[in-house]
Chain A
Amino acid sequence: MAGVLEIQNLQKNFDAVKVINDFSMDVIELTLCCLVGPNGAGKTTTMDLITGRQKPTSGSVTFRGHVITGENEQMIARRGLGRKFQIPAVFRELTVRQNLEVAYSHEVNALKNIFSFSSRQCDARIDEVAEQVGLQERLAVIAGTLSHGETQWLEIGMVLMQDPALLLLDEPVAGMTEQEIEKTADILNTMKKTKTLIVVEHDMGFVREIADIVTVMHMGSLLAQGTIQEIETNQQVRDVYLGTEDH
C-alpha cells in the first residue's frame, strides 16, 4: 500500500516556541486517519503546514510523490488536497447550491470561467454530493441561515465537490448533537471507501467509530500511532491525553 501523504521531520517555530517539533507521519491510501491530541498539541498547525497556509521552518510534506512544502494554498488544493476548517468556512451570503458550485473547481482559469454559465456535470455532481451529505432539500437556502450541523455538512460537501484525493477535516463534529454526529460518522464511513482522509478530532467516541488508524500528537511531536485498540491501551497516551480528557 502506497503512502499518499508523507510528512518528514516537520518543524515549525514561532519565535522560540517549537509548535511542531520533528513530526513525521505517513498516511496510507484509502484509510481514515484520526489525528488526536490535547489542546495545543499542534494538530491544526499541522493541517496549516500541509495545506500551505503556513510555511514550515524545516522538514517536508510529500503528496503523491511531489514535495508540496513551499507551494501556496491554491497550488496544493489543485493537486487534490481538500480541507475543511475548524470553524466552518462557507460562503454565508451565497446559497447552498452556489456554495457547492464554487467548490466545483475543476476549472480554475479565471478567463475560461468568465464564459462559463452552467455545466451539466456540475449540476449532476451537486445533486450527488447534496444527497451524500443530506442537504438535497436545502439547496436554495442561503448558507448563513443553516444550522451549525448543516453548515458542517455543507463544508464537507464543498470539499467533496472539489473531488480531492485526500481530505483534511478539522473537527467535523464539533458542536453537533448526538444524531448529527451519528449521521456524520455514516457520511465519513462511506467516504473512506473512495478517499483518503485525515480527521482531527477530540471526541474519542467518534474516533472509535470512524478511525482506521489513530495518530496521537503531544507538544508538537508524534506520541503514538496505531489502531484504536492499540492507542487506548497505550500507557503513555493514557498519561498525557486520555487522563486529562473527560468523555
Chain B
Amino acid sequence: MTINPYHDKRLQWVAYAIFFALLALVPILLDDAFLLNQLSTFGVYGILALSLSLCWGFGGILNLGQGIAFGLGAYGMAMTMQMQSQDIDTNPIPPFMLNNALESLPMIWEPFWNTGTGIFLAVAIPTLYCLIFGALMFQARVSGPFFAIMTLAMLSAFYTVFIDLQPYTNGVNGISPPMPLEVGSLVVDPYSTTSYWIVYAVLLLSTVVAKLLTQSKFGLIVRAQNNDPERVRFLGYNVAVYETLIYAISGCMAALAGMCFTFLTQYVSPSQFDVGFSISIVIWAAIGGRGSLLWAIMGAFIVQGAQSYLGDEFLNTWILILGFFFILVVRFLPGGLAGLVELILGKLPNMSKQQKSPGEKPVDKASLKEA
C-alpha cells in the first residue's frame, strides 16, 4: 500500500511546527507597526477560519453565522474597553449613551466595569448562545442545509437587533473605545508586538486544541456522525450532544477571535454581524480547505492578503473574482488548496515506503484526512 506523506501524523505535526515558527519570526524581523497590526488582524481571521473548519470540515455542520459568536465576543471586549475609560464617580456613562438620552448605565453594561468579568463574559456569552441554539436545533435533528439556513437567519436577527438597540450599542456607528485595552499593568497597544503575541498565542492555542480534538475519540465520533448520524445513534451515542459541543467549541474560538479583533482595531460595529463578513469566513475555509485546520488558516491569510495587496480601488472586482473562484472550488475542488496538495503529494514517488518491518501491526496512516 502506498502512503501519502500528507497523511503522516508525525509530518503533520512538523508542518504545524514550521508554520508557527515562521509566524513567530514576523515581529522579530518586521519593523513596521502598521503592517504588524495588519498581520495581527490576519491572525484573527486565521482563528475564525480555523474555528469554522473545525465545525464544518470535521463535523459537517455548516455555520453561516460564525459572525454571531465573533461579533458577540467583539462587542463584549469593546464594552470592557469602553468602561475602562469611564469613571464610576465623575463620568459613569459612555458619551454615545448620553447622546441617546440615557440617564443611567444600562444593567447589561454594569458587569463590564470589571475588566476580568468583562473579558469572561465576552467569551462566556457567545459560547452559551451556541450551546443553547445548538441544543435546540440538534435535538430537533435539524441538520445540513437547514441548520445552515437557521444560522443565517439568526445572524440576520442579531444584525437588526444590534442596529435597533441604539442606546445600548450605539447602532450602526458601533463602539470605539478611546483607549487601548489595559489588563492589570499591561497595556495592549494595537500597534505593538504585545498585541501580535496575544493573537499569536490565541491562534496557537486554538490550533493545538482543535488538532487534539480531531484526534480524540470525541473527534472520531464527530467525524463519524458527519458520515452517517443515524449509524452513530444506533451505536448508543447521543449525536445532538456531540454536534452541540463541537459547534460551541468552534463558537468559543470565534468569540476569542472577536475579542482580539476589538483590541486590534479599537472599534466594533454591527458589520461584524453582516452576512458578507460571515460569507468571507466560509470562503477562507473553503478555498484553503475545510478539511484541514492548517490550510483553513492559510486560506484566510491568502485571501485577505491578496485583498489588501490589491487595495481598495480593486475591491469590487476582487470580490467578483473571489466569488467565481469560490464557485470553482466548490464545484471542482471541494477539498480546497489542501485537497490539491494532498493530490500532488499522493502522486509523488513513494517516499516513506516500507518504514515498518513486515508483521508489525499496521498503523492506519491513511486514516487521517486532516493535516
Which of B218, B235, B363, B365 makes the CB contact (< 8 A) with A77?
B235
| A41-78 interface (Cβ within 8 A of B) | 51, 53, 72-74, 77-78
Contact between chains at B236 and A162 (CB < 8 Å): yes
Enumerate B162-218 residues with CB–CB distance to A below 8 Å.
213, 215-218
Q: What residues of chain A lie closer than 8 Å to B369, measured between beta carbons?
A: 93
**A241 within 8 Å of B by Cβ?**
no
Q: A83-B234, A94-B227 are in contact. Are A140 and B367 (CB under 8 A)?
A: yes
Given contact pairs A102-B220, A102-B221, A114-B213, A51 touches B234 in the complex (Cβ within 8 A): yes
Q: How many residues on the B side are at the interface (Cβ–Cβ under 8 A)?
A: 33
In angstroms, how far is the closest chain A Cβ from the Cβ of B231? 4
Q: How far is the CB of B290 from chain A (nearest CB, A)?
A: 13
Which of A74, A94, A119 makes the CB contact (< 8 A) with B236?
A: A74
Asked whether B218 lies within 8 Å of A93 as measured between CB atoms, the reply is: no
Write the chain A residue with the least CB distance to B366. Answer: A140
Residues of B within 8 A of A85 (CB): 231
Q: Compute how far the CA of A61 lies from the CA of B56 in the bound complex, rounded to whole angstroms.
A: 38
Q: Tell me, rounded to whole Å, the shortest Cβ–Cβ distance linking B53 to chain A.
A: 16
- Within the complex, the shortest CB–CB distance from A23 to chain B, in Å, comes to 22
Query: What separation, in Å, do the CA atoms of A227 and B237 have in the docked complex?
Result: 36
Contact of B234 among A73, A92, A98, A117 (CB under 8 A): A73
Q: Does chain B have a CB within 8 A of A89?
A: yes
Contact with B along A125-153 (1 / 0, CB 8 A): 00000000000000111100000000000
Determine the distance from Cα of A73 to Cα of B239 in the docked complex, in whole angstroms: 10
Q: Which residues of B contact A82 (CB under 8 A)?
A: 234
- Give which listed residue, A113, A115, A140, contacts B362 with CB less than 8 A: A140
Most buried by A among B217, B234, B235, B363: B234
**With a CB–CB cut-off of 8 A, which chain B residues contact A111?**
245
Cβ 8 A contact of B366, one of A78, A95, A107, A117? A95
**Which residues 92-112 of A sit at the B interface, judged by CB distance below 8 A?**
92-95, 97-99, 101-103, 105, 107-108, 110-111
The reply to whether the CB of B340 lies closer than 8 angstroms to some CB of chain A is no
A90 on the B face (CB < 8 A): yes
Q: Which of B1, B216, B221 contacts A115 (CB 8 A)?
A: B216
Closest A residue by C-beta to B246? A110
Contact of A103 among B218, B233, B235 (CB under 8 A): B235
**The residue from A72, A99, A140 contacting B365, defined by CB atoms under 8 A apart:** A140
What is the bound-complex CA distance between A171 and B3, given in angstroms?
35
A139/B364 in contact, CB under 8 A:
yes
**Is B241 interfacial (CB 8 A cutoff)?**
yes
Asked if A113 and B221 sit within 8 Å, CB to CB, the answer is yes
Task: List B215-254 residues whose CB lies under 8 Å from chain A.
Answer: 215-218, 220-221, 223-224, 226-228, 230-239, 241-242, 245
Contacts of B215 in A (CB 8 A): 117
Tell me how far the C-beta of A117 lies from the nearest C-beta in chain B, rounded to whole angstroms: 6
Which residues does chain A contribute within 8 Å of B227, judged by CB atoms? 91-94
Q: What total of A-B pairs shows CB separation below 8 Å?
A: 107
A199 an interface residue at 8 Å Cβ cutoff?
Answer: no
Chain A proximity of B4: nearest CB distance (Å) = 12
Assess whether B235 is in contact with A102, with CB atoms less than 8 Å apart.
yes
Contact B223 A94, beta carbon cutoff 8 Å: yes
For residue A77, which residues in chain B have a CB less than 8 angstroms away from its CB?
233-236
- Taking CB as reference atom, which chain B residue is nearest A80? B236
Which residue of B221, B230, B238, B367 is within 8 Å of A97 (Cβ)? B367
Cα A33 to Cα B347 in complex, Å, equals 50
Q: Which of B216, B230, B238, B362 contacts A108 (CB 8 A)?
A: B238
Q: Which residues of A lie under 8 Å from residue B224 when comparing CB positions?
A: 91, 94, 98-99, 102
- State how many angstroms separate the Cβ of B371 from the closest Cβ of chain A: 15
Contact yes or no, B364 A116, CB < 8 A: no
Question: A91 and B228 in contact (CB under 8 A), knowing A110-B242, A117-B216, A140-B367?
Answer: yes
CB of B134 to closest CB in A, whole Å = 12
A169 close to B (CB within 8 Å): no
In the assembled complex, the Cα of A117 lies from the Cα of B214 at a distance in Å of 10
Is A74 in contact with B238, judged by CB distance below 8 angstroms? Answer: yes
What's the minimum C-beta distance from A105 to chain B, rounded to whole angstroms? Answer: 4
Is A95 a contact partner of B216 (Cβ separation < 8 A)?
no
Interchain CA distance A97-B361 in the complex, whole Å: 12
In the bound complex, residues from chain A placing their C-beta under 8 Å from that of B362 are: 139-140
User: Quick one: which of B338-371 are within 8 Å of A by CB?
Assistant: 362-367, 369
Q: A158 an interface residue at 8 Å Cβ cutoff? A: yes
Q: When A91-B228, A139-B364 are in contact, do A116 and B233 touch as well, CB less than 8 Å?
A: no
Query: Quick check: B236 and A105 within 8 Å, CB to CB?
Result: yes
Proximity string of chain B (26-62) to chain A, C-beta cutoff 8 Å, 1 when within and 0 when not: 0000000000000000000000000000000000000
**Could you jot down 30 A-B contacts, CB within 8 Å?**
A72-B233, A73-B230, A74-B235, A77-B233, A82-B234, A89-B228, A90-B231, A91-B223, A91-B228, A93-B223, A93-B226, A94-B367, A95-B366, A95-B367, A97-B367, A98-B224, A102-B221, A103-B235, A107-B217, A110-B245, A113-B218, A113-B221, A114-B218, A114-B245, A117-B215, A139-B364, A140-B362, A140-B363, A140-B364, A162-B235
* 8 smallest beta-carbon distances between A and B, as pairs: A77-B236, A91-B227, A113-B218, A116-B217, A113-B217, A78-B236, A73-B233, A114-B218
